[in-house]
Structure 1
Amino acid sequence: MQRFAKQEVPEYQVIADKLFAEIKAGLYSEDGRMPSEQVLGRRFRANRYTIRQSLELLVHTGVLRAHQGKGYFLCEKPLDIQYTITPTMSFSDVIRRLGRRPEAKLLSREQLGTPADIAEALGLAEGEPAYRLQILRLADDVPLSWNETWLPSRYFPDLLETVANMTSLYVLLEQRYGMELFRMQSSFRSGNPTLAEAGMLQISPNTSILHIESVMRDQHGRRVELTSAKYRGDLCKVSIQFEA
């Protein structure tokens, strides 16, 4: 049997996890200044570069803010995203309603033959052409979720060219293809990110994520989108809103 070596968590991420746990426990005053890199270096017996990596990771996660020449401080209003799933509301809608600025970064786009599980979810023949998009979604420049989206090619001609400069996928689908999307089903499970996902989301591999897979239909009842979204568990709380 082939054995795989366990991947070790980098030292800077271990230190960042410890500092984040202390911040959550209230060991640092609200809007207070963090200990200097020198003090933290002595405490954790780490070099200054490693300590700086740890602090910058906490900056990227929305916990700390950096002031040049002054050090690192707790954020006044850390991100706390209350993401509500409804039949029609999109990520951008939710983030704007929370007073935050949404952003979508297209990481990759390609056309492939659909694997068996994707084809089944979308009601396609296995191997039928579909687009696969990888999208990083952010709020106020802080990464919140990594999405892999599949769209049947038959419904979206020339999508790879038009999607390159998108700001919102759903706005693009509505404006260019006249398509309104409605949620058919969603499944949920928790876990931990891979090292690649942790890097994109700027979190430690020890941070929990919420994995949501959703199938969307259009106004004609056709299954037109399958998205696998991985949300940061440290910043996102997801709820479901049922129709009355």
Structure 2
Amino acid sequence: MSNASAKTPIWQAIAEALRSDVAEGRYTPGDRLPTEAALAERFGVNRHTVRHGLSALVEEGLIRTRRGSGAFVAATPTDYAIGKRVRFHENLIAAGRRPEKRVLNIEERVATDGEAQALRIAPGDPVCAYHGLSLADGQPIAVVESVFPAARLPGVAEALRVHTRITQALQTAGVADYTRASTRLTAVRASATQALHLQVAEGDPLLKSTSVNVDESGNPVEYGRTWFAGDRVTLTL
């Protein structure tokens, strides 16, 4: 058979068309691609052929698929430093990303046994719990829960309602500076609510960071748990 009579397989043509769409900015990192049904209609083929083309792009690393959510243009993971001084805004700005935080809930309640141990307070002592969503360039990268000792930090609840940055809220509550005393990293699966906030599928892999921050006198001022979307963040120690 001559080269002139050879034809490009349709799935390859679909992959090339989507590759061009990404290169031209029609779809940007983090964007969701049309459904298989919509792509099949666009290219006039069956969904199996579309799936073949998408699989090729997954192998290239250009797109990622999430069970139950669809196909997304792969984003370069955000570098996030874990050290003595962990600051969300500064970390993302240093990585060339636009930081954003959204408050999900702020509640005043009593400490659990685990929280009390981490904060060196008595079980049942009052704490302020902050629940938030961290974003980079508008894309959610982490769900956050931070617990603060209310008696040690008078006014912290109101400060958290006023300031979007925890550093500013702690300064308002009398903590001039704080550092990371400990960090523990574990791999977990996304719960239904975490999946909803992070725009991933339930059961997708997350990286959980559990930490304790202390003031200049060594007193714990924050017990934090952060669930990072596994494919959107590279943690560096």
TM-score (norm 2): 0.72
* 2-structure distance, mates of 1:172, 1:216: 14
Gaps of 5+ in 1: 1-22, 45-53, 65-74
- CA 85–58 in structure 1, closer or farther in 2 if over 3 Å, else same: farther
Displacement of 1:108: 0.6
* 2-structure distance, mates of 1:79, 1:166: 29
Instruction: Report the identity percentage.
Output: 23
Pick from 32, 43, 47 the counterpart of residue 43 of structure 1: 47
2:140 alignment partner in structure 1: 143
Displacement of 1:28: 4.8
- CA 98–154 in structure 1, closer or farther in 2 if over 3 Å, else same: same
2:121 equivalent to 1:131: no
Which runs of structure 2 are paired with 1:68-217 in the superposition (5 Å)?
78-217=75-214
Displacement of 1:225: 0.6
1:29 alignment partner in structure 2: 19
Displacement of 1:96: 0.7
Displacement of 1:122: 1.0
RMSD: 2.7
* 1-structure distance, mates of 2:222, 2:182: 11
Displacement of 1:88: 0.8
Question: Would the aligned equivalents of 1:183 and 1:216 in 2 still touch at CA under 8 Å?
Answer: yes
Deviations 1:199-241 (A, max 9, x none): 011111242110010011001110111001000101111121x
Larger C-alpha radius of gyration, 1 or 2? 2
Question: Would the aligned equivalents of 1:102 and 1:140 in 2 still touch at CA under 8 Å?
Answer: yes
Gaps of 5+ in 2: 1-14, 27-32, 49-65
1:218 alignment partner in structure 2: 215
- CA 178–234 in structure 1, closer or farther in 2 if over 3 Å, else same: same
- CA 219–207 in structure 1, closer or farther in 2 if over 3 Å, else same: same
Question: Would the aligned equivalents of 2:110 and 2:127 in 1 still touch at CA under 8 Å?
Answer: yes
- CA 97–58 in structure 1, closer or farther in 2 if over 3 Å, else same: farther
Which runs of structure 2 are paired with 1:60-71 in the superposition (5 Å)?
63-64=72-73
- CA 164–40 in structure 1, closer or farther in 2 if over 3 Å, else same: farther
Q: Aligned with 1:171: secondary structure?
A: helix
* 2-structure distance, mates of 1:38, 1:130: 49
Deviations 1:118-143 (A, max 9, x none): 10111111101111110111111111
